[in-house]
Amino acid sequence: AQSVSQHNHHVILSEAASLELGCNYSYGGTVNLFWYVQYPGQHLQLLLKYFSGDPLVKGIKGFEAEFIKSKFSFNLRKPSVQWSDTAEYFCAVRENNRLAFGKGNQVVVIP
Amino acid sequence: DTGVSQNPRHKITKRGQNVTFRCDPISEHNRLYWYRQTLGQGPEFLTYFQNEAQLEKSRLLSDRFSAERPKGSFSTLEIQRTEQGDSAMYLCASSIRGDLSSGANVLTFGAGSRLTVL
């Protein structure tokens, strides 16, 4: 079975600061990786995904993630955050026909 | 609204009562998933269906839990003899079966049904 580790569960930063959220998974084969976001009071939404090809994946709202196979990592980044990026972020990896999620990162952006 | 719909959104019940949640997936999606999410945790997989067939169940799904998808469209998740530890958000998601380029494995989530057991 795979597992997903997310670090720094609570992140507080100011607007315009850069954000990087770490995600590590444990699996040596072909992986499909995802970041989902949950804004306050809203449902989980797909932010970006990696299936194959270019390891640098661009998602919505200026987010990107880099798949580094040698490090079993899929870190999420945004160069300049906005107050509206306040949300919980979940990394997920495909296990057969379902997704396994990490515990999430609660990100608070201070105006 | 063509997204995933879940009802009820909130349910408060007393310990020992039975509760049932309903999920209506996106109409063209043939896979349907149930997850559970508690505070400070990510979604935990419970079970999934492909059409009407229940293909996988997590060990988290005790005997008190049962899920059905009788006609391959909507699904119900029933919890019998609820316990306080069942308090959580129950999430439904759907996806299409197919190759990765067609969007398979991309789960679309509903807003969830929050259960509080007193």
| B62-117 pLDDT tens trace | 999 999 999 889 999 999 999 999 999 999 999 987 655 555 678 999 999 999 99
pLDDT classification of A52: cutoffs 50, 70, 90 = confident
Assess B44–A contact: CB distance below 8 Å, yes or no: yes
State how far the Cα of B106 lies from the Cα of A92, in Å rounded to an integer. Answer: 11
Q: How far apart are the first and last CA of chain A?
A: 41
Residue B117 half-sphere exposure toward CB, CA atoms < 13 A: 16
Cβ atoms of A40 and A86 within 8 Å: the answer is: yes
Neighbours of A79 (CB within 10 A): 12
Asked whether A63 and A35 are in contact (CB, 8 A), the reply is yes
pLDDT tens column, A56-105: 999 999 999 999 999 999 999 999 999 999 999 999 998 878 889 999 99
Asked if residue B20 lies in contact with residue B113, where contact means CB atoms within 8 angstroms, the answer is: no
The residues in A 3-32 lying below 8 A from B, measured between CB atoms, are: 4, 6, 9, 32
B100 with A32: Cβ contact below 8 A: yes
* A80: closest CA of chain B, how far (Å): 25
User: What is the C-alpha to C-alpha distance for residues A103 and A86, in angstroms, rounded to an integer?
Assistant: 17
Of A52, A96, A104, the CB nearest to B42: A104
pLDDT value at residue B15:
97
Residues 6+ apart with CB under 8 A from A97: B31, B48, B50, B55, B56, B105
Nearest Cβ partner for B42 among A43, A96, A101: A101
Record: contact A4-B42, CB cut-off 8 A: yes
